[in-house]
DNA sequence: ATGAAAGCGCTAACAT
DNA sequence: ATGTTAGCGCTTTCAT
């Protein structure tokens, strides 16, 4: 079965200390010895146990990533860049989908701690703050992605949600829309997007009303349902700002089934600029998050925190970018 | 910092053996003792180290999952169900995207072994068979997903690719298409789909030619490029069977830019039935893989292999299902 | 019913 | 230059 350091030592005729040294490329020794050990490692197909070494104080070289749902394209896309960057740095990542469920979050966070992950990236939004605080107290580097720091005093990386909401809404307003609904998520980030939505209206001296603000959880089905709710409320708005692409797609699909023409009868702006935004017809006008940059950055940050703890914490906001495609147009009079 | 079993033992006034027993719910002891220990575990917020226990022979409660690319919706969707099912069974999963790169596969497989994963699910297609053999030899349960067993003698779970290819093609043929191209991947599964494509033709006494078989790697961009190549070759076929939805979407997009009407000028069938198939316009006719069932099944299998090794190995084929949407129509005369 | 102690595979000080 | 040894946090057998 799996050879251990002892097997290698015996086969190479040296002590385990020597083997350990060649594994870690530390210490000094005769070149011939090093070669001999390397050879026998290869011959035995020896693979040092990361668990054993982690137990002696070294890291586990694994990162934990908490997302709401890995099957949501936004998260799978960002997970991919996180994974790539992590591997470039010799780390792998355990992905957990919380389904925006506080119990699951708790369970997964504890699990990740028991697995001794070297750091945790939290891109999931429902929080049991106490749990996360525990993590921080226990000195496990933790950074928030797509989220504010929830009062934890950790660094957070996200897009400028306020600005994104502002730009999405301003675009609609500039096209003449005066009756704009917003479908947000429950997450904090959505709150900022709502504020941006409000700000854009206010700036133009436009009224807003609670009636135009809807909330749901990200999924195509929920997007459809939201549109149904909006329509039930009475007058159909001319524009909808959906706080993510998944919801926007749902709105598009439902609108079509209702016989609403897009963008003639209804303009839609999404958020995220995932792969979905390019596959709808018309293409989805949306607010792009710099997914790759954010993913890379978050692992850079967490790795530097792992290397030398107590880095200064920051709140990093990336610039959102309005991508105009076909789901928005000048409002019909 | 993190409390250990010693801290708990000391605080509770018992030995670590006793604490271990309550952690694992083994052995007998006075109820009061058990309670006392439980209480102090709670008070100290103690979380047993999985690494330490793994080192003593228990499992790591971790599964490794190798996929070509987690940002491909098919894989992120199946990863989600795998993750869910795994967690239901107290296991978490480390996901690695190989990018269909043999070197990466090798690197990740070794990594996963060093991390002592209890089992590995391989849904990635380019194989360094030797590496995988090593895994099997070392007695780490391994099951192939979406792939045949590559001569490893392990159980494999996939859709019936041959049948899927046959049905996709037959559908096109039944709509009157006589000039059908196929865009496949390099994977083994694609080979089966090609055979299905061939079979469907043969059954109808229709000619086929190598000229109509194209290969690429799954991505929208490669789908677009493939269509360009097909067009360059001369006569544009009336039907295209793309071996996955991503490629199909690329074909649709490129076709539109070329001014080709879908399905009037070109009928398209995809494969997978991912979220993308519902967002295109028209909706994508595609071959559905039972993603949830396959995902659940694969973890059930691997878990039973982990529990009692040497399960009988099988080749499990799920039934594909043709989902007719809007990208296919009777051929124009 | 409870505890002492050996051992899992490795690292890192300390000897030689 | 190389080896000895004491942990790391836990499980498990064997005593008590």
Judging contacts by C-beta atoms under 8 Å, the chain B residues touching residue A76 are 70-71, 73, 76, 79
More confident residue, A57 or B111: B111
Reported for B147-151, long-range contacts at CB under 8 A and 24+ positions apart, including other chains, are B147/B122, B147/B123, B147/B187, B147/B188, B147/B189, B148/B188, B148/B189, B148/B315, B149/B313, B149/B315, B150/B188
Does the N-terminal peptide bond of residue B157 adopt cis geometry, omega within 30 degrees of 0?
no
Task: Decide the pairing of beta strands B267-272 and B239-242.
Answer: parallel
Q: Taking all atoms of strand C, which protein residues have CB closer than 7 Å? A: A 2, 4-6, 16-17, 20, 23-24, 26, 46, 48-49, 52-53, 55-58; B 13-18, 27-30, 33, 52, 55-57
Which residues does chain A have with pLDDT short of 50?
Answer: none
pLDDT at B193 over 90: yes
Q: What's the pTM value of the predicted model, to 2 decimals?
A: 0.94
In 3D space, the residue among B275, B278, B257, B274 whose CA is nearest the CA of residue B266 turns out to be: B257
What is the pLDDT at residue A311?
A: 84
**Residue A139 Rama label (left phi>0; alpha psi -120 to 50; beta):** left
What is the pLDDT at residue B76?
A: 98
Give the whole-angstrom CA distance, residue B244 versus residue B198: 17
Nucleotide nearest to A21 (CA to C1'): C11
pLDDT averaged over every residue in chain B = 94
**8-state DSSP, B310:** -
Judging contacts by C-beta atoms under 8 Å, the chain B residues touching residue A83 are 70, 95-97
CB contact under 8 A, B47 and A249: no
Give the whole-angstrom CA distance, residue B271 versus residue B230: 19
More confident residue, B325 or B28: B325
Give the whole-angstrom CA distance, residue B227 versus residue A128: 50
What is the pLDDT at residue B303?
A: 96
CA distance, residue A28 to nearest chain B CA (Å): 25
CATH for A161-289, options being 3.30.365.10, 3.40.50.1360, 3.40.50.2300, 3.30.460.80: 3.40.50.2300
Name the fold adopted by A5-48. 434 Repressor (Amino-terminal Domain) (1.10.260)
Per residue in B64-86, pLDDT (tens digit) is 999 999 999 999 999 999 999 99
Give ∠ CA A289-A290-A292 in degrees, rounded to 5.
135
Give ∠ CA B242-B248-B249 in degrees, rounded to 5.
170
What is the pLDDT at residue A150?
A: 80
Per residue in B252-282, pLDDT (tens digit) is 999 999 999 999 999 999 999 999 999 887 8
CATH for B62-159+291-319, options being 3.10.20.740, 3.40.50.2300, 2.60.40.10, 3.65.10.10: 3.40.50.2300
Percent of chain B, pLDDT > 70?
Answer: 100
What is the pLDDT at residue B331?
A: 86
CB contact under 8 A, B55 and A52: yes
Residue B216, phi then psi, degrees to nearest 5? -160, -175
Give the whole-angstrom CA distance, residue B251 versus residue B178: 19
pLDDT at B127 over 90: no
- Beta carbons within 8 Å of B18's beta carbon, 6+ residues apart: B9, B12, B29, B33, B37
Domain with CATH 3.40.50.2300 in chain B: 62-159+291-319, 161-289
Domain with CATH 1.10.260.40 in chain B: 5-48
Q: What is the band of B292 on the pLDDT scale with cuts at 50, 70, 90?
A: very high
**Residue A13 Rama label (left phi>0; alpha psi -120 to 50; beta):** left
pLDDT at B49 over 80: yes
Rounded mean pLDDT of B206-235?
94
How far the first Cα of chain B sits from its last, in Å, is 76
What is the pLDDT at residue B149?
A: 84
In 3D space, the residue among A102, A100, A152, A154 whose CA is nearest the CA of residue A128 turns out to be: A102
What is the pLDDT at residue B121?
A: 98
What is the pLDDT at residue B33?
A: 93
Mutation to test the B interface, candidates A80, A222, A248, A255, most B Cβ within 10 Å = A80
Closest Cβ–Cβ partner in B71, B139, B281 for A76: B71
What is the pLDDT at residue B164?
A: 98
Whether the beta carbon of A18 falls within 7 A of nucleic chain D: the reply is yes
Sign for the pseudo-dihedral over CA of B276, A294, A93, A184:
negative
In 3D space, the residue among B62, B40, B34 whose CA is nearest the CA of residue B50 turns out to be: B62
Q: Yes or no: say if B48 and A114 are a contact pair by the CB < 8 Å rule.
A: yes
Judging contacts by C-beta atoms under 8 Å, the chain B residues touching residue A47 are 110, 113-114
Nucleotide D1 C1' to residue B134 CA (A): 34
pLDDT at B105 over 90: yes
Whether the beta carbon of B9 falls within 7 A of nucleic chain D: the reply is no
What is the pLDDT at residue A27?
A: 85
Nucleotide nearest to B28 (CA to C1'): C1
């Amino acid at each position: 079965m799996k050879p251990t350091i002892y097997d290698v030592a015996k086969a190479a005729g040296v002590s385990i200390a020597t083997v350990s040294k060649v594994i870690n490329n530390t210490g000094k020794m005769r070149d011939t010895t090093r070669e001999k050990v390397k050879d026998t490692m290869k011959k035995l197909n020896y693979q040092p146990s990361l668990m054993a070494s982690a137990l002696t104080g070294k890291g586990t070289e694994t990162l934990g990533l908490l997302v709401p749902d890995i099957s949501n394209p936004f998260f799978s896309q960002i997970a991919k860049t996180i994974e790539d960057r992590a591997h470039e740095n010799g780390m792998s990542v355990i992905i957990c989908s919380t389904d925006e469920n506080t119990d699951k979050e708790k369970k997964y966070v504890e699990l990740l701690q028991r697995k001794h992950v070297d750091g945790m990236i939290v891109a999931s939004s429902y929080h049991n703050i106490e749990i996360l605080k525990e993590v921080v107290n226990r000195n496990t580097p933790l950074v928030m992605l797509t989220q504010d720091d929830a009062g934890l005093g950790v660094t957070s990386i996200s897009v400028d949600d306020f600005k994104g909401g502002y730009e999405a809404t301003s675009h609609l307003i500039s096209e003449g829309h005066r009756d704009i609904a917003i479908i947000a998520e429950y997450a904090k980030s959505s709150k900022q997007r709502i504020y941006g939505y409000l700000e854009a209206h206010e700036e133009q001296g436009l009224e807003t009303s609670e009636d135009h603000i809807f909330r749901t959880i990200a999924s195509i089905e929920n997007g459809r349902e939201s549109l149904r709710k909006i329509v039930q409320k009475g007058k159909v708005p001319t524009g909808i700002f959906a706080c993510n692409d998944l919801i926007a797609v749902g709105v598009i699909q439902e609108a079509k089934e209702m016989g609403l023409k897009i963008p003639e009868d209804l303009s839609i702006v999404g958020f995220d600029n995932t792969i979905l935004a390019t596959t709808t017809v018309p293409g989805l006008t949306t607010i792009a998050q710099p997914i790759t940059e954010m993913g890379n950055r978050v692992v850079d940050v967490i790795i530097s925190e792992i290397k030398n703890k107590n880095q200064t914490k920051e709140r990093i906001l990336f610039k959102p970018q309005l991508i105009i495609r076909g789901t928005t147009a000048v409002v019909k009079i």
